[in-house]
Amino acid sequence: MATRQIISKETTLELRKRHIGPSCKLFYKDDPIKILRASGVYMYDELGGRYLDCINNVCHVGHCNPYVVSAAMQQMAALNTNTRFLHDNIVLYAQRLVSTFPKELSVCFFVNSGSEANDLAIRLARAHTGRRDVVTLDHAYHGHVSSLIDISPYMFNRPGGQGQQDWVHVAPVPDVYRGTYRDDEFTAEECAEKYADEVRRLCDEAARPGGGVALFVAESMQSCGGQIVFPPGYLRRVYSDVRAAGGVCQADEVQVGFGRVGSHMWAFQTQGDDVVPDIVTLGKPMGNGHPVSAVVTTREIAESFGAKGMQYFNTFGGNPVSAAIADAVLDVIENDKLMENATRIGDYVRREINSLREKHAIIGDVRGQGMFLGVDLVLDRRTRAPATAQAAYISRRLKEEHVLLSCDGPHRNVLKFKPPLVFNLDNAKELLEKLDKIMTEMEAAECDVGAITRRLYKGVRGEYYTAGCTLLYLT
């Protein structure tokens, strides 16, 4: 095999600017990292520098997991073709996959990305209900194709977005810390009821002549909205109300599925054993970096879709190599007890950050489950004013300390912890020690972090880019 030429970081950056679309943004735009290899929870740059990866929820069982790589190589050496030919891999994997779901969810469609899966879910819902309208949550992101930008306020409400379509209905995200109904005013049960009432109201509004809700879609825990965990009972109530209105319910598990929450394989299960969506979409971690994803649904919905007469075909979805890789990922999750690890390490990280909360006033809320955690940074715990510039600064400083951790949420003030599930206790201690160090430095310096961030990271079109966070002008 020919050795590929290794070029300088400067040349790589110049070629990217010349040949890659300018809207394709880089992490750490001011000083991007050139990654050449990765293993487990570490990524390595062109100089051999090692970075602890707390960002990558795609390489679910660890970067370049040897067992998964071997499964890919073996099947690639034997056969790869489309699914119009019979092959064992796709059917055996489908059988195994649906065994992890409630019995109602028994039929699979295989695709290549979470975006494809979510686009297909909309088609399934509309074919089954004969309706068009979609209820989504504020700040939600479900993919990059046109149909999903239309139902993703995270995209359509931002620069370049086209705004809200008349068939899209946006419910407030059930964020009990800084949302419409908060835990300093209501109990968790009251919050769940009030947020669910907002969805029911939108279903009623959609019941206009010729209208009606086809689909309610939500991540089972919201990621881009700031690592939001829904109050207990929320999905149970919403699913019941949406079905009563004639719609179906989708759980987007693209970011939170495959055991990331630790206690369950699928995050919707944390809302109760009786909470069962009609459609589930899977993606990112399914192939540990290989492009494979799926839609899992009921027999009734699948048959409604088939009855429309249009054949569904996906050239690469569920091909023998993809199915072999996805099956290997399940092997590693089970054999290496990664769900148990997600619970053990996630609980430790959350407990220790709550301890740091006693030391650092900037830490407002620590939330999440397993290896899906968010640290909401605030300027004032009473008002809960978001510490946007400080979050960006911390993320940049962590990068300088060779730890990769992103920030998100409507105010870009939430540190997001979503590493590969092989993250261990020593990795957790490294993250926590460096986070504590940086927060201590900030407090000791009594510096204007916002001014520093603005000075160092001024970008184009009135934006600041720092450590993967897009930050609007603060002045």
- pLDDT exceeds 70 at position 470: no
Return the pLDDT at 473: 28
- CB within 8 Å of 155: residues ≥ 6 apart: 141, 144, 148, 149, 161
pLDDT at residue 42 in the model: 98
Parallel, antiparallel, or unpaired: how do β-strands 213-219 and 133-137 relate?
parallel
What band does 449 get if pLDDT is binned at 50, 70 and 90?
low
Query: What is the pLDDT confidence band of residue 463, given thresholds at 50, 70 and 90?
Result: very low
pLDDT of residue 161: 80
Q: What confidence score (pLDDT) does residue 30 get? A: 86
The conformation of residue 165, written as its DSSP 8-state character, comes to: -
Specify the amino acid at residue 73. M
Q: What mean pLDDT is predicted for residues 354-373?
A: 97
Q: Which of 22-26, 189-193, 302-306, 470-474 bottoms out in mean pLDDT, i.e. has the lowest?
A: 470-474
Q: Is the pLDDT of residue 5 over 80?
A: no
Question: What local confidence, expressed as pLDDT, does residue 461 receive?
Answer: 33
Q: Supply the pLDDT for residue 211.
A: 79
Residue 322, both tokens: 């993809």
| Predicted confidence (pLDDT) per residue in 304-326, tens digit | 999 988 888 899 999 999 999 99
For residues 427 and 419, the answer to whether their CB atoms sit within 8 Å is yes
Q: Enumerate the H helices of 106-257 as residue ranges.
A: 114-129, 146-149, 153-156, 188-206, 234-244
**By 3-state DSSP, what share of the chain in percent is helix, strand and coil, each rounded to 5?**
40, 20, 40
The predicted-structure confidence for 79-132, as pLDDT tens digits, reads as follows 999 988 999 999 999 999 999 999 999 999 999 999 999 999 999 999 999 999
Work out whether strand 372-380 and strand 363-369 pair parallel, antiparallel, or are unpaired.
antiparallel
Question: Which 3 state secondary structure label does DSSP give 105?
Answer: coil
Looking at residue 464, its pLDDT comes to 36
Residue whose pair of structure tokens reads 């970011």 in the numeric block: 255
Burial 20-52 (b: 16+ CB within 10 A, else e): eeeeeeebbbeeebebeebebbbbbbeeeeebb
The per-residue pLDDT of the chain, averaged, comes to 92
SS3 at position 217: strand
pLDDT band at 164 (very low <50, low <70, confident <90, very high): confident
Q: What does the block give as tokens for 380?
A: 């004032």
Confidence tier at 160 by pLDDT (50, 70, 90): confident
Reported confidence tier of residue 446, pLDDT bands at 50, 70, 90: low
Using a pLDDT cut of 90, give the percent of the chain over it.
Answer: 83
Residue 455: the pLDDT is: 45
Instruction: Look at residues 414, 396, 408 and name the one whose alpha carbon lies nearest to residue 466.
Output: 396
Model confidence pLDDT, tens digit, residues 36-84? 999 999 999 999 999 999 999 999 999 999 999 999 999 999 999 998 8
What is the Cα–Cα distance from 227 to 233, expressed in whole angstroms?
18
Residue 474: the pLDDT is: 31
- Lowest-confidence segment of 33-37, 385-389, 424-428, 460-464 by average pLDDT: 460-464
Higher pLDDT pick, 417 / 25: 417
- 127-142 pLDDT tens trace: 999 999 999 999 999 9
Q: What is the pLDDT of residue 263?
A: 98
242-294 pLDDT, tens digit per residue, is 999 999 999 999 999 999 999 999 999 999 999 999 999 999 999 999 999 99
